[in-house]
Chains A and B, each alone.
Chain A
Amino acid sequence: MVSVSASDLSVTLGRRTVVRGVSATLKAGALVGILGPNGAGKSSLVRALLGLLPHGGAVSIDGVPRASLSRGEIARRVAYLPQGQLLHWPVSVERLVALGRLPHLGPFSRIGAADRAAIDRAMARAEVGALADRVATELSGGERARVLLARALAVEAPVLVADEPLASLDPAHQIEGMELLRAEADAGGLVVAVLHDLTLAARFCDRVLVMADGALVADGPPAAVLTPALLAEVYGITATVTGGERPLLVPLDRVPLTGRSPPA
């Protein structure tokens, strides 16, 4: 059972502290949503988890301090889908998805049958098989997002960290994307996704971490965490929240600035 835990994680960029003392243990078989307004430190938090940013505090993967793992060892355990990813060369979709196998290749070895199979599985799951021969830089926003997700899936790591995987997807593909992440978690993986869509997060996530101004302000099942009071405090919005286990959450309006309590 894979687990990722952070204790007292903090990140300072320049003079600004963007993540303050976040502690959490994330366990396999769960889809964990990281929520919070723009600039709350969500991306910095996941980048720090992966060791892509210098940070204070400690991160461990499966109980092993991440600092003692090499980049290659981390890469085989945690697949990462960065936010708003730019593609720098006009390579084919298949070639791009194949990059996900890099952590598994020994020195001087080529992509083998097992890697081929993993690439095909990832492309089938993200439904990008039909795009295999297209040029990755010439895809539509939605196609590109799915291809990049396929690239992350091709790593077949026990942990998948996706930073805004639903950005620029239409509603059908957003739901499809969430179903895909859900299926990863149900198959025993740990999926951590930075999300902006509260409705989808409430429906699909097992657990949500809510951040505001760098601090973790709430952590738990969506039904318990995503209350009108918390949404007003963190996002400054009013919302209807109905239903039980998998609540239906609809953002309605902004709370007037004067009536808003400052974020914790």
Chain B
Amino acid sequence: MTRRWLWPVLILALVAALLLGVGVGSASIPPARAWAALIGHGDPVERAILVELRLPRAILGLGVGAMLGLAGAALQGYLRNPLAEPSVLGASNGAALGAVVALYFGLAAQYPAALPLVAIAGALAALALLFVLAGRSESALTLILAGIAVATLAGAGISLALNLSPNPFAAIEIMTWLLGSLEDRSFRHVLLALPCIAIGVALLAGQGRALDALTLGEDGAAALGVDLRRTRARLLLGTAIGVGGAVAVSGSIGFVGLIVPHLVRPLTDRSPSAVLWPSAAAGAVLLTLADVAVRVIPSTNELKLGVVTAFLGVPVFLVHLMRERRLW
């Protein structure tokens, strides 16, 4: 059974994460003044900091985190593989390659909107290639192998761009983006990412029953009335559009999609459908809190979000690995 307290705790955590995301930063603004600024009174500078800097950043943290968590949960359910996450299908790398191409050719500098758009195109191109490679096969293994091929190809493309970059500054710009961050994001970024994330969430969250049926394997699921081809198409499209849009504004942020479903699963009845929404909520909380952490950890350069999630992620993942192997 799903724990009774799971949703109340997740909702409280979401509210807390949003408050911290808006309330914490390099400029310290006491809650009373922050509230005044938010409802339109108070200091215009503080209002600008809160509404134009921190609020879009907090919203993006919640949205991107939810998308990565949900995509991880849906893909783990579909591939019946607890190691699955968006990067397994090459969607993350495809989006990253798109963004790197935009940076490399200077498109991003000329038209700021080009970066996310080319990143989404990259994720969709990776998906199209995946479809060609995996063909009409309904097997998850074929899909994983094709995903690895696509991810590796996109990774090679990113390395090529770094290799050929005309000057160190261009290479640094690409590297910085690859580290993943929500720094200096505005409502323009929110407008670009949120519709993609909404489409992705809608496509993935509706697949709960098909994922449950897949507990019995592909034949078992098909015999329970699941149209495997349609399920796969929706999962792939949802992942490409949602994760493509998310990665486009945040850069590569790893481990969230991998870890969040593992954290949530023991608190549910462990069926794939029960893990979907809690993973979205927990992903949103985790990423927003990690983004708060990068702001308060004292360092000369602000730490990049992708670096923090990787450091947070590995120990959590190791604990699960040890438990899986019954080492404690």
Q: Point out the residues of chain A lying under 8 angstroms from B223, CB to CB.
A: 50, 52, 74-75, 78-80, 82
Residue from the set A73, A87, A99 with the largest chain B CB neighbour count within 10 Å: A99
Partner among B80, B225, B270 whose Cβ is within 8 Å of the Cβ of A72: B225
Q: Point out the residues of chain A lying under 8 angstroms from B80, CB to CB.
A: 88-89
Partner among A75, A79, A96 whose Cβ is within 8 Å of the Cβ of B215: A96
Near A by CB (< 8 A), chain B positions 270-305 give 270-272
Q: How far is the CA of A95 from the CA of B209 in the complex (A)?
A: 12
Q: Point out the residues of chain A lying under 8 angstroms from B226, CB to CB.
A: 71, 102
Complex: chain A residue closest to B222, CB-CB: A52
Near B by CB (< 8 A), chain A positions 88-103 give 88-92, 95-96, 99-100, 102-103
A47 CB-CB contact with B under 8 Å: yes
Q: How far is the CA of A75 from the CA of B220 in the complex (A)?
A: 10
Q: Point out the residues of chain B lying under 8 angstroms from A86, CB to CB.
A: 217
The answer to whether B214 touches A75 (Cβ under 8 A) is: no
Q: Point out the residues of chain A lying under 8 angstroms from B215, CB to CB.
A: 87-89, 91, 96, 99
B19 CB-CB contact with A under 8 Å: no
Near B by CB (< 8 A), chain A positions 22-72 give 47, 50-52, 70-72
Partner among B224, B269, B271 whose Cβ is within 8 Å of the Cβ of A75: B224
The answer to whether B217 touches A88 (Cβ under 8 A) is: yes
B258 CB-CB contact with A under 8 Å: no
Q: How far is the CA of A98 from the CA of B214 in the complex (A)?
A: 13
Task: Give min CB distance, A24 to chain B, whole Å.
Answer: 20
B173 CB-CB contact with A under 8 Å: no
The digit string for B216-245, where 1 denotes a CB below 8 A from any CB of A, is 110110111111000000000000000000
A203 CB-CB contact with B under 8 Å: no
**CB within 8 Å for A99 and B222 given contacts A89-B270, A89-B271, A92-B269:** no
Q: How far is the CA of A80 from the CA of B271 in the complex (A)?
A: 21
The answer to whether B225 touches A103 (Cβ under 8 A) is: yes
Task: Give min CB distance, A262 to chain B, whole Å.
Answer: 32
A151 CB-CB contact with B under 8 Å: yes
Task: Give min CB distance, A127 to chain B, whole Å.
Answer: 21
**CB within 8 Å for A151 and B216 given contacts A90-B270, A92-B269, A95-B271:** yes
Q: Point out the residues of chain B lying under 8 angstroms from A155, CB to CB.
A: 224
Residue from the set A71, A88, A96, A102 with the largest chain B CB neighbour count within 10 Å: A88
The answer to whether B224 touches A105 (Cβ under 8 A) is: no
Complex: chain B residue closest to A152, CB-CB: B223
The answer to whether A85 touches B271 (Cβ under 8 A) is: no
Q: Point out the residues of chain B lying under 8 angstroms from A87, CB to CB.
A: 215-216
Near A by CB (< 8 A), chain B positions 193-228 give 209, 212-217, 219-220, 222-227
Partner among B216, B225, B269, B272 whose Cβ is within 8 Å of the Cβ of A71: B225
The answer to whether A102 touches B212 (Cβ under 8 A) is: yes
Q: How far is the CA of A92 from the CA of B212 in the complex (A)?
A: 12
Partner among A75, A90, A96 whose Cβ is within 8 Å of the Cβ of B225: A75
Q: Point out the residues of chain A lying under 8 angstroms from B271, CB to CB.
A: 89, 91, 95
Q: Point out the residues of chain A lying under 8 angstroms from B269, CB to CB.
A: 91-92, 95
The answer to whether B219 touches A102 (Cβ under 8 A) is: no
Q: Point out the residues of chain B lying under 8 angstroms from A50, CB to CB.
A: 222-223
Q: Point out the residues of chain B lying under 8 angstroms from A102, CB to CB.
A: 209, 212-213, 224-226
The 5 closest A-B pairs by CB, nearest first: A75-B225, A80-B223, A72-B225, A88-B80, A103-B225
Footprint of A on B, CB under 8 Å?
A: 80, 209, 212-217, 219-220, 222-227, 269-272
Can you report 11 residue pairs joining A to B where beta carbons are below 8 Å apart? A71-B225, A71-B227, A82-B220, A85-B220, A87-B216, A88-B215, A90-B270, A99-B212, A102-B209, A102-B226, A151-B216
